[in-house]
Amino acid sequence: MRSVFDLTGRRAMVTGANTGIGQGIAVSLAQAGAEILAVGRSSMAETRATIEAEGGKLVEISADLGDTAGVAAMFDGAWNAHGPIDILVNNAGIIRRADAVDFTEDDWDAVMDVNLKSVFLLCQAFARKAFATERPGRIVNVASLLSFQGGIRVASYTASKSGLAGLTKILANEWAAKGINVNAIAPGYIETNNTEALRNDPVRREDILKRIPAGRWGQASDIGGTAVFLACDASSYVHGAVIPVDGGWLAR
């Protein structure tokens, strides 16, 4: 009997899979049986080695998601070259830190292009292919605690992740009846490059840790299980959800 968590025979595109949360998601999906198309600007060698060591398959696709003009063509090219894509994980993201009064337009645009605009364009390209071929699909967006909270000194990041939560819901409203599940994960404070500045600040680090009921910062692998759930048959009736994986932060 096949498990509802089994992804064997399915193909997943994961953006930003070279490190951090994206790497954790890619590895977890591969462990569940999915073939991975890993998209990003940097080498995926470490992710590839981890997946292939366990008998999985990863294909690297080089792309700059900040160049939004090429996003749809990249997706279409990947579909045509490697076969239909069943799962799209929009994980790639960047962050810029400055007081709101000093925040530059360039930093605003750079973050919004990668974190929100490119996500919409990828979702749109995915849906067009799925509808044209009458295939079901799963979209998993990587949101943030700042989809619910304001944060400080990260104006464009907060705006992009709040927008991503809204985008997840509107796409679920439009596409649920057409066979595409659209959901999101909202990671808490995870040990990644994006949180390095916070972890290097002893005051902020301790303030954050004291509020987390689990008593620790999260690991990228902590997000992987939720990604598998949202990508597999077990979540067939889950649409438009933004699921916090935060060690209990929002419950505090």
In total, how many domains does the chain have?
A: 1
* 213 phi-psi bin (left φ>0, alpha ψ -120 to 50, beta other): alpha
The CATH number that applies at residue 217 is 3.40.50.720
Catalytic residue among 79, 126, 157, 189: 157
Show the domain range for 109: 11-243
Tell me the CA distances in angstroms from 177 to 128, 133, 233, one per residue in order.
15, 16, 16
Query: What is the token pair recorded at 10?
Result: 């399915």
Rounded mean pLDDT, 4-15: 97
What is the model's pLDDT at position 37? 98
Q: Is 2 part of a structural domain of the chain? A: no
What is the model's pLDDT at position 196? 86
Answer yes or no: is pLDDT of 194 > 80.
Answer: no
Q: Is 6 part of a structural domain of the chain? A: no
> DSSP label at 117?
I
Q: Is 53 part of a structural domain of the chain? A: yes
Rounded mean pLDDT, 160-181: 98
Q: Is 249 part of a structural domain of the chain? A: no
Rounded mean pLDDT, 125-141: 98
Answer yes or no: is pLDDT of 32 > 80.
Answer: yes
First-to-final CA distance of the chain: 40
- Where does the pLDDT of residue 231 fall: very low under 50, low under 70, confident under 90, or very high at 90 and above? very high
Q: Is 57 part of a structural domain of the chain? A: yes
List pLDDT tens digits, range 88-130: 999 999 999 999 999 999 999 999 999 999 999 999 999 999 9
Q: Is 190 part of a structural domain of the chain? A: yes
List pLDDT tens digits, range 33-78: 999 999 999 999 999 999 999 999 999 999 999 999 999 999 999 9
Q: Is 140 part of a structural domain of the chain? A: yes
Q: Is 100 part of a structural domain of the chain? A: yes
Candidates 71, 15, 68; CA nearest to 38 is 15
Integer Cα distance of 208 and 50 in angstroms: 31
Integer Cα distance of 248 and 187 in angstroms: 11
Q: Which helix (H) or strand (E) holds 204?
A: helix 202-211
Q: Is 157 a catalytic residue?
A: yes
